[in-house]
Amino acid sequence: MSTTRKPASVRQEADERWREETLEPTLGKMPERMEQFTTTSLYPIKGLYTPADLEGIDFDADVSYPGQFPYTRGIHATGHRGRLWTMRQFAGFGSAFDTNKRFKYLLSQGQTGLSTAFDLPTLMGLDADNPLSEGEVGKCGVAVSSLADMEALFDGIPLEDVTTSMTINAPASMILAMYLVVAEKHGASWKKISGTLQNDILKEFIAQKEWIYPPRPSMQLVIDTFKFCTDEVPRWNFVSVSGYHIREAGSTAIQELAFTLRDGIEYVQWAIDAGMDVDAFTPRISFFFNAHNDFFEEIAKYRAARRIWARVMRDRFGAKDPRSWQLRFHTQTAGVTLTAQQPYNNVARVAIQALAGVLGGTQSLHTNSLDETLALPSEHAATIALRTQQIIAHETGVTNTVDPLAGSYFIEKLTSEMEAGALEYIRKIDEMGGMVEAIDLGFPQKEIHESAYEFQRAMERGEKLVVGVNAYTDVSDENVQPPMLVIDHTTAEFQSRRLADLRATRDQDRVTQALDLLENGAAEGRNTMPLLIDCVRSYCTLGEMCDALKEVYGEYQEPVF
Amino acid sequence: MQRKIRILIAKPGLDGHDRGAKVIARALRDAGMEVIYTGLRQTPEQIVAAAVQEDVDCIGLSILSGAHMTLFPRVLELMRAQGLEDVILFGGGIIPDEDVPKLKALGVAEIFTPGASTQAVIEYLRELCPVGRLTRSRSIESRTPSSSSRSTGRTDSTRSASRHSRRSMTCS
């Protein structure tokens, strides 16, 4: 940062002198532990960073102040001094009644927002009584097959006061329609309710792989929700562009950053192409990043994300509203780093990852429970995870100042390197024609697989150590297992009975008519949201709505890459 | 010529977590085995049909959804119905310790949970299916009951032949 620096040549000479006079004699006596030090993404890190590394980084243009373009230091002038991040623990299991109880428990423990995990049948748009759902109902999240389940899920929860995040993608618009009808029944105004719909179908094709329709009609469904929410549910965050799953699938930090931001660019471009005004919808786009183990790499990643997004929105898309430039994000600690071996060690991992998210300026945070690699979190484990956030917020002092790591030679250099690496990927994807085209080519999918395989090999060569897995494994508490939450088959039976009752008692003519209108409307290219809301009010099931659209859109088959 | 170990890596269940399946498929391939990866969300019926068609020595199931106690027994049942008793079924994924002995008692050969190295899986499979001991030979010339049993020391040549004919039917 030019204002605080000696001329570069003088600095480089001084660095060189230190290397000769101090470093080399030390290395002569005692070599370093490894030939090359790398991050968990296998990105090389130098032993020392000095002002010479700040060459080319301009304080005003590249770092600046919190709340000011390009927001490297955060989108709020007061950081976490003004408002703490939202402590938002992802929860969902069993039936809607089971999860409703957990929601109420978490709110009573000081959690400030809800976050809904749906089970796999729901994520795939299948009803609980579909044969493909066998063995999966209520296992990885809550089972929701119709409005009746959604009513039970949010029973007694004040929807105008609590923000709700819903992790759902391929059938996101159907689930949003259900939530809106529940709000309507509670008397909560669509103009006042707020929350987040993940609704990020691109990362499904790239990494998480829970899709229904092919990419292009899937994108159309997403754009329908953008338009509908912009007009009718103005405080709703209708997409959470997610790097989390990309990272969990094995990407590097730079790939997570690049593919997530390029996905964001793709949504903005599609919405503009559909006739939307960029500043009318972009402020409601939010992001979701992973908090992995490599502390500084993660912090640099969040800072680079804000800087890239601000410039892309202003310079590439010509957005005028500063809110369009500000990248807001949720963070979740990295599930993939949790170990089944010595599971109590996971509390330490989660705390360090969460700290990186906080120092990176996150707007909301989920901390994983120590038992999540074994099963869904028990209430006890979920409470420790929430308490971890409260300890960071109230005991460590890290929230006292904004972006405390700014100005570190290392952090600023690494932020710039993350940015450069991501921009290179974004340029490549632009050249392919965009992210949908890159997905057709299998480009991000192959890049992630390569990184996952490289990391596995590095671990097996012993270059990367994981405590309790390939190091420090010989301990007596290896088999100390936390108590686990077990979801038995009674949920599936319960859900099947509920669905049978529903199908027997609802107005079948109305159901048939609503589904016909949905199918015909989609075929004509009308916005699907009002049609889906009508289906939901008629108690069409999730599976029925998804199947009606399969008639129009077809189903996605992943090519072999 | 010695033939390679043939393995079907299959991903049943509704989830899309294919990182482990793809990493292990790649590692086994790099170790010189022939690997067929089914892709996501295969039903037990599809998996066993693929095992028959591809005439594999082993099937590896990757399950992270929690449905392992439903899916492994179903695959084993279908394998028996198809006469695949000598095909080794192993698995990996998020599988609680207490379920491992139950699965082994049902007939699953081995379960590799997170943290198992790909090298451990490679060594296990090489140990369990040394190529010289294998039932089936891929060359058309040797596809007679006598040469098959001579090359393997096993007597289960009838089924072996029937599986070959099934494969050639699907190829035509």
Instruction: Assess B46–A contact: CB distance below 8 Å, yes or no.
Output: no
Give the amino acid at A359: L
Query: Domains of chain A, with CATH numbers?
Result: 59-398+407-459+469-476 (3.20.20.240)
| Per-residue pLDDT tens digits for A522-560 | 999 999 999 999 999 999 999 999 999 999 999 999 887
Task: Give percent of chain B above pLDDT 70.
Answer: 74
Instruction: Assess B71–A contact: CB distance below 8 Å, yes or no.
Output: yes
pLDDT-based confidence at B148, cuts 50/70/90?
Answer: very low
Number of domains chain B is built from: 2
Are B94 and B18 within one domain?
A: yes
Are B69 and B143 within one domain?
A: no
Residue B52 lies in a domain: yes
Residue A347's φ and ψ, nearest 5 degrees, are -60, -40
Range of B19's domain?
Answer: 6-130
Chain A: closest CA distance from residue B163 (Å): 26
Are B87 and B114 within one domain?
A: yes
Of A221-230, A243-252, B43-52, B151-160, the one with minimum mean pLDDT is B151-160
Residue B110 lies in a domain: yes
Of A109-113, A251-255, A484-488, the one with minimum mean pLDDT is A484-488
Instruction: Tell me the residues of chain B between 80 and 99 that have a Cβ less than 8 Å away from chain A.
Output: 94, 96-97
Residues of chain A contacting residue B45, judged by C-beta atoms under 8 Å apart: none
Residue B166 lies in a domain: yes
Chain A residues whose C-beta is within 8 A of a chain B C-beta are 120-121, 123-124, 126, 132-136, 139-140, 204, 207-210, 248-250, 339-341, 373-375, 449, 452-453, 456, 459-460, 466, 468-470, 479, 481, 484, 487, 558, 560
| Per-residue pLDDT tens digits for A272-294 | 999 999 999 999 999 999 999 99
Give the three-class secondary structure for B158: helix
- Residue B90, domain CATH: 3.40.50.280
Mean pLDDT value across residues B126-143: 54
Give residues with Cβ within 8 angstroms of A54, minimum separation 6: A1, A5, A409, A412, A413
Are B144 and B124 within one domain?
A: no
Are B110 and B163 within one domain?
A: no
- Residue B145 has a pLDDT of 36
Rounded distance, CA A368 to CA A482, Å?
Answer: 14
**What residue has token string 């997570």?**
A256
**Closest-CA residue in chain A for B12?**
A132
A526: number of CA atoms within 13 Å, CB side? Answer: 12
Task: Give percent of chain A above pLDDT 70.
Answer: 98
Supply the DSSP string of B112-123, one letter for each residue: E-TT--HHHHHH
- Residue B1 has a pLDDT of 53
- Residue A5 has a pLDDT of 54
pLDDT-based confidence at A479, cuts 50/70/90?
Answer: low
pLDDT-based confidence at A106, cuts 50/70/90?
Answer: confident
Q: With contact defined as beta carbons under 8 Å apart, do A463 and A37 qualify? A: no
Are B37 and B66 within one domain?
A: yes
- Residue B144 has a pLDDT of 35
Residue B114 lies in a domain: yes
Mean residue pLDDT across chain A: 94
Question: Is the four-CA dihedral A120, A126, A129, A130 of positive or negative sign?
Answer: negative
Query: Who among B27, B65, B119 is closest to A136 (CB)?
Result: B65
Are B24 and B89 within one domain?
A: yes
Are B117 and B142 within one domain?
A: no
Rounded distance, CA B115 to CA B167, Å?
Answer: 36
Pairing of strands A329-333, A364-366: parallel
Query: Who among A120, A340, A484 is closest to B65 (CB)?
Result: A120
Name the residue among B21, B53, B59 with its Cα closest to residue B40: B21
Instruction: Assess B118–A contact: CB distance below 8 Å, yes or no.
Output: yes
Instruction: Assess B18–A contact: CB distance below 8 Å, yes or no.
Output: yes
- Residue A340 has a pLDDT of 87
| Per-residue pLDDT tens digits for A139-187 | 889 999 999 999 999 999 999 999 999 999 999 999 999 999 999 999 9
Strands in A113-117's sheet, in edge-to-edge order, are: A90-91, A113-117, A163-167, A195-197, A236-237
Of A105-119, A235-249, A494-508, the one with minimum mean pLDDT is A105-119
Q: With contact defined as beta carbons under 8 Å apart, do B64 and B17 qualify? A: yes
Q: With contact defined as beta carbons under 8 Å apart, do B103 and B94 qualify? A: no
Of A127-136, A416-425, A530-539, the one with minimum mean pLDDT is A127-136
The partner residues of A366 in beta bridges, in order of sequence, read A332
* Final residue of a structural domain among B130, B145, B162: B130
What is the 8-class DSSP label of residue A367? P
| Per-residue pLDDT tens digits for A35-78 | 999 999 999 999 999 999 999 999 999 999 999 999 999 999 99
Are B116 and B150 within one domain?
A: no
Give the three-class secondary structure for A281: helix
Are B80 and B146 within one domain?
A: no
Which residue would you say has higher pLDDT here, A139 or A239? A239
pLDDT-based confidence at B115, cuts 50/70/90?
Answer: confident
Q: With contact defined as beta carbons under 8 Å apart, do A12 and A6 qualify? A: no
Residue B1 lies in a domain: no
> Does position B3 have pLDDT exceeding 90, yes or no?
no
Name the residue among B52, B96, B44 with its Cα closest to residue A134: B44
What is the 8-class DSSP label of residue A159? T
Rounded distance, CA B40 to CA A98, Å?
Answer: 30
Rounded distance, CA A193 to CA A235, Å?
Answer: 7
> Does position B167 have pLDDT exceeding 90, yes or no?
no
Are B95 and B140 within one domain?
A: no
Chain B: closest CA distance from residue A456 (Å): 8
- Residue A477 has a pLDDT of 57
Are B68 and B106 within one domain?
A: yes
